């Protein structure tokens, strides 16, 4: 019997297509007579368009159209805008809606020409006259204008104020984080192919083909079925593709107006003209007994949002669940600015909130004079106090133990500035990570053909996480087939329904649907086999047969067997199939489910230059069953690298005098490169969870980044004795 591929570190089934260039992305698809669009962006952060002079651009060679708010096609839902699946409270931004300028670099026109070069040249000839209005883009200047976020925060528990006042030890601090932009390798693009009957075939950079499809249908008033959205490959997204971005709307507008196929691709600079991780200011107060036991915790955050939407994420809730504490008060406010709405970015909310919490816990450990790891064990939470529920599984203690052993944490001298090598100060820091383990309804179809080949499909996407591969593994294991006998299709809005790919819930959601569809297909195979003439399975029930090595067999009589293809051919049809919608099991409701991690970091700081080098990272992850340790490890590695960048480099800098981002490129927007990253070791801690879903999987996409920035900051304190609470920790803050 062939071994199950579940849990095996297998190569990506799409890897060869990617490295040989056969994989095609949103801007790679051609169409006869394809036109190219170039976006013209606003030059002020707030005001009104007085006029757009496009005459010179329209006269330029190859130009077919200069699209503005004055000549756009009629749009069905612009007066009552349709909210996409990842929408925030408020009114979504509507490209080319009217003459209002809501933020800097807002799209104000689209130049469409025969070639990309012609469109780019003509876009420079468009003249826009503005009436500027007063604006504010600085969160720190708008803190007093902040209002309560539309978030369902846990109710305060206990008497936080009284417990803080009576605590033997008290730690208070303000922590801040900057704007960050996603910057996936593939820029956002949409290729809209006009079909002969007027239907639209759209290739979009998206994390949800059906979300983009429904958005187009609603916004443009198109009949269901007239739009098909494809995203067979996505070159990274990190959350930037959760909502339909403006390149999609503009490309569809131009295609409908011209009745031609149109492609719009954003430049790297334009990738800074929509969603981002919001800037935050957080205040944390911890009250503790002399031994470090938490007596009170108050966590308040203020984040920026746009004036037209209230973007809300889970920033402070983690502080109410990660450690045992009976007196907790959480607060979250939003400050509206003249900016675009923020957008979910890898581990949204947790990346920010856990940074503040874990730095504060490190400060408490220093005040108590206790090992930071021991402090976390003293305050270990066996239940999620926010929900009053036990965890479906929680192997965080094992993460601490295995990570500490691999890192050599026991040799740490607790005094800051106590470890040195040459001109470098050495520091060791740690932090805890947490992320909710979610599952959403999802559907999948499983079809077996006359050759015994299994075809499984769902409308989900693969943003580089390895979805093609893990779904193939799940399907192969469910029907006892070799991987080569399975083909998984995704990235097509016409396939069975799937949620957005994000939140680390794709394996839990779509993987459960794939597993259940294959199990349902087993029943179809058995029915067909029983109905065969002179069937060896006549009268046998489901528990009397087994599915092994591509065959249906009688248990205890392996000589009585039929191959799947043989059964299909005998049934008289081309294939047998089953489609299933998988939903979270009701037994989940009694539990809280989460992934956890322990991150250990060694930094080396040049005392004279203030330059920080991350020499070692050990990340121990408890995420239930890991379907593919190889692709999962890559996810954690990517999260660790991003966490290092968040700690030391990453920051979108805004000139508040102009209301404009200054470093909107990859030369000045600093992110880590290979030379910045030292040794990174990933440990997957064994964790069995029979509640979260039948696969026992919790997902790993988000947890890899959570806690990393805090661990780096804590290591820097240990190395230098300087507590930096303002990210990123650049050399000027250390000197």
Summarised one tens digit per residue, pLDDT across range 45-97 is: 999 999 999 999 999 999 999 999 999 998 887 766 667 788 888 889 999 99
Q: Is the peptide bond before 728 cis (omega within 30 degrees of 0)?
A: yes
- CA angle 523–526–531, rounded 5-degree value: 130
Query: 3-state class of 237 per DSSP?
Result: coil
CA 322 to the chain's CA centroid: 21
Q: Which of 313, 329, 687, 702 is catalytic?
A: 702
Q: Shortest CA distance to 298 belongs to which of 156, 146, 140, 145?
A: 156
Please give the Cα distance from 613 to 601 (Å, whole number).
Answer: 11
pLDDT at position 230, please? 98
Indicate the DSSP class of residue 705: T
Verify whether residue 607 is a known catalytic residue: no
- Tell me if 562 sits within 8 A of 548, measured CB to CB: no
Residues of the chain with CATH 3.90.1170.50: 35-134+185-237+241-272
Across the chain, mean pLDDT equals 96
Buried b (16+ CB within 10 A) or exposed e, 421-434: eeebbbbbbbbbbb
Residues of the chain with CATH 3.30.365.10: 14-21+440-583, 350-438+590-733
- Tell me if 32 sits within 8 A of 105, measured CB to CB: no
pLDDT at position 308, please? 96
Q: Spell out, as residue ranges, where the chain has pLDDT lower than 50.
A: none
Phi-psi region of 505 (alpha: psi -120 to 50; beta: other; left: phi over 0): alpha
pLDDT at position 64, please? 98
In sequence order, the β-bridge partners of residue 508 are: none
Please give the Cα distance from 258 to 719 (Å, whole number).
Answer: 63
Please give the Cα distance from 125 to 55 (Å, whole number).
Answer: 8
Please give the Cα distance from 701 to 346 (Å, whole number).
Answer: 8
Q: Does domain 14-21+440-583 have CATH number 3.30.70.270?
A: no
pLDDT at position 85, please? 80
pLDDT at position 505, please? 96
- In the block, residue with structure tokens 């920033």: 315
- CA angle 437–677–683, rounded 5-degree value: 40
* Strands of 468-563, DSSP E: 486-489, 545-548, 551-554, 557-563
pLDDT at position 2, please? 65
Tell the burial category of 79 from Cβ atoms under 10 Å away from its Cβ (0-12, 13-18, 19+).
exposed
CATH of 350-438+590-733, picked from 3.30.9.60, 3.30.365.10, 3.40.50.300, 3.10.20.740, is: 3.30.365.10
pLDDT at position 87, please? 81
Summarised one tens digit per residue, pLDDT across range 253-283 is: 999 999 999 999 999 999 999 999 999 999 9
pLDDT at position 74, please? 86
Any idea which fold 35-134+185-237+241-272 has? Aldehyde Oxidoreductase; domain 3 (3.90.1170)
Indicate the DSSP class of residue 380: B
Q: How many CB atoms lie within 10 A of CB 571?
A: 18
Residues 6+ apart with CB under 8 A from 578: 445, 446, 517, 518, 520, 521, 523, 524
Q: At what angle do helices 708-720 and 629-648 cross, to 10 degrees?
A: 50
């Amino acid at each position: 019997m062939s071994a199950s591929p579940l849990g095996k570190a297998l190569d990506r089934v799409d890897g060869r297509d990617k490295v040989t260039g056969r994989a095609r992305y949103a801007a790679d698809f051609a169409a006869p007579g394809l036109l190219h669009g170039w976006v013209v962006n606003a030059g002020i952060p707030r005001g009104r368009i007085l006029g757009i002079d496009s005459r010179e651009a329209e006269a330029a060679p190859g130009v077919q159209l200069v699209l503005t708010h004055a000549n756009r096609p009629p749009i069905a839902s612009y007066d009552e805008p349709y909210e996409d699946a990842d929408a925030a409270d408020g009114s979504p931004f509507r490209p080319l809606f009217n003459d209002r300028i809501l933020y800097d670099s807002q799209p104000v026109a689209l130049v469409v020409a025969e070639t990309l070069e012609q469109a780019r040249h003509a876009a420079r000839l468009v003249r826009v006259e503005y009436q500027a209005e007063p604006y504010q883009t600085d969160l720190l200047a708008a803190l007093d204008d902040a209002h309560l976020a539309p978030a369902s925060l846990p109710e305060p528990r206990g008497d936080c104020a009284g417990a803080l006042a009576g605590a033997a030890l008290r730690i208070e601090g303000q922590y801040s984080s900057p704007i960050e932009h996603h910057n996936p390798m593939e820029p956002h693009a949409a290729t809209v192919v006009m079909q002969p009957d007027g239907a639209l075939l759209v290739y979009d950079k998206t994390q949800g083909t059906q979300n983009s499809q429904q958005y187009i249908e609603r916004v443009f008033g198109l009949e269901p079925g007239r739009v098909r959205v494809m995203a067979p490959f996505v070159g990274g997204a990190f959350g930037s593709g959760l909502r339909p971005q403006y390149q999609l709307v503009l490309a569809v507008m131009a295609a409908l107006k011209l009745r031609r196929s149109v492609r719009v691709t954003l430049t790297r600079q334009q990738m800074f003209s929509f969603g981002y991780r919001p800037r935050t200011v957080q205040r944390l107060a911890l009250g503790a007994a002399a031994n470090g036991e938490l007596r009170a915790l108050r966590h308040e955050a203020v984040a920026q949002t746009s004036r037209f939407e209230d973007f809300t994420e889970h920033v402070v809730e983690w502080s109410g669940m990660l450690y045992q504490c009976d007196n907790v008060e959480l607060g979250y406010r939003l400050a509206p600015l003249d900016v675009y709405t923020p957008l979910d970015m890898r581990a949204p909310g947790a990346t920010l909130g856990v940074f503040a919490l874990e730095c504060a816990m490190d400060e408490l450990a220093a005040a108590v004079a206790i090992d930071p790891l021991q402090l976390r064990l003293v305050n270990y939470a066996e239940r999620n106090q926010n929900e009053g529920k036990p965890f479906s599984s929680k192997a965080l203690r094992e993460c601490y133990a295995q990570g500490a052993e691999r890192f050599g944490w026991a040799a740490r001298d607790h005094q800051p500035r106590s470890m040195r090598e040459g001109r470098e100060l050495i520091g060791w820091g740690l932090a805890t990570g947490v992320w909710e383990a979610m599952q959403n309804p999802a559907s999948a179809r499983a079809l077996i053909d006359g050759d015994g080949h299994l075809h499984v499909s769902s409308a989900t996407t693969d943003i580089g996480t390895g979805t093609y591969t893990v779904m193939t593994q799940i399907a192969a294991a469910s029907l006892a087939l070799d991987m080569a006998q399975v083909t998984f299709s995704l990235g097509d809005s016409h396939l069975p329904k799937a949620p957005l790919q994000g939140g680390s819930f794709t394996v839990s959601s779509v993987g459960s649907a794939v597993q259940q569809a294959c199990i349902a297909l087993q029943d179809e195979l058995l029915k067909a086999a029983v109905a065969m003439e002179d069937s060896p399975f006549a009268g046998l029930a489901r528990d009397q047969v087994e599915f092994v090595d591509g065959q249906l067999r009688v248990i205890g009589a392996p000589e009585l067997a039929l191959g799947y293809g043989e059964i299909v051919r005998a049934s008289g049809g081309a294939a047998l199939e089953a489609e299933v919608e998988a939903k979270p099991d009701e037994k989940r409701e009694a539990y809280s489910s989460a992934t956890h991690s322990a991150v250990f970091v060694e930094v080396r700081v040049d005392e004279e230059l203030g330059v920080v080098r991350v020499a070692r990272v050990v990340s121990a992850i408890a995420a239930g069953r890991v379907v593919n340790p190889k692709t999962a490890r890559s996810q954690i590695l990517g999260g660790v690298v991003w966490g290092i960048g968040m700690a030391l480099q990453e920051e979108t800098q805004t000139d508040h005098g102009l209301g404009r981002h200054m470093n909107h490129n990859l030369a000045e927007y600093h992110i880590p490169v290979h030379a910045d990253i030292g040794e990174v070791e990933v440990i997957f801690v064994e964790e069995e969870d029979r509640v979260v879903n039948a696969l026992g999987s919790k997902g790993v996409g988000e947890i890899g980044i959570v806690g990393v920035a805090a661990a780096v900051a804590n290591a820097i304190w240990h190395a230098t004795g300087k507590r930096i609470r303002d990210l990123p920790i650049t050399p000027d803050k250390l000197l």
